[in-house]
């Protein structure tokens, strides 16, 4: 990540706004990268894909992308309910399987930051399970 150059000769409200806009660009970029990576690894098994993905992205990007992914899956399950009334049950099974993978992953050797991001993701997944 490159250092942000801010002209502090201007008023504080001006350079703080510059910092804010740069931070927003960085967060958007991290979310986009996490989303792209999640979509690209279709051939990898789910457990391995999840582990690599969680270890290579920041917690905020992981949280946002996982929430978007869950919302899309729920919408698809609801839309497909007319053809298959077990779509929500199948999705619930998938959520539980994901949660089990995450619990197994938290028991591995992780950095402090990765463990905190994973803990937050597990919390989200538990809420997802409860929603289902």
**What b/e readout covers 78-98, taking b as 16+ CB neighbours within 10 angstroms?**
eeeeeeeeebeeebbebbeeb
pLDDT above 90 as % of the chain: 45
> What confidence tier does 117 reach under pLDDT thresholds 50, 70, 90?
very high
Confidence check: pLDDT of 1 > 60 = no
**CATH code of the domain made up of 12-131:** 1.20.58.1120
Rounded Cα–Cα distance for residues 76 and 18 (Å): 40
Confidence check: pLDDT of 25 > 90 = yes
Q: pLDDT per residue over 63-112, tens digit each?
A: 999 999 999 989 988 888 778 878 888 888 988 998 999 999 999 888 99
């Amino acid at each position: 990540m490159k250092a942000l150059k801010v002209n502090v000769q201007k008023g504080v409200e001006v350079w703080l706004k510059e910092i804010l806009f740069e931070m927003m660009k960085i967060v958007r970029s991290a979310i986009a990268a996490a989303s792209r990576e999640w979509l690209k690894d279709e051939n990898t098994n789910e457990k391995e894909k999840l582990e690599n993905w969680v270890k290579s992205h920041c917690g905020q990007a992981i949280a946002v992308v996982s929430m978007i992914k869950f919302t899309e899956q729920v919408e698809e399950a609801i839309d497909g309910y007319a053809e298959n009334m077990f779509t929500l049950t199948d999705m619930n099974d998938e959520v539980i399987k994901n949660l089990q993978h995450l619990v197994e992953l938290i028991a591995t050797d992780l950095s402090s930051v990765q463990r905190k991001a994973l803990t937050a993701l597990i919390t989200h997944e538990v809420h997802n399970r409860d929603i289902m």
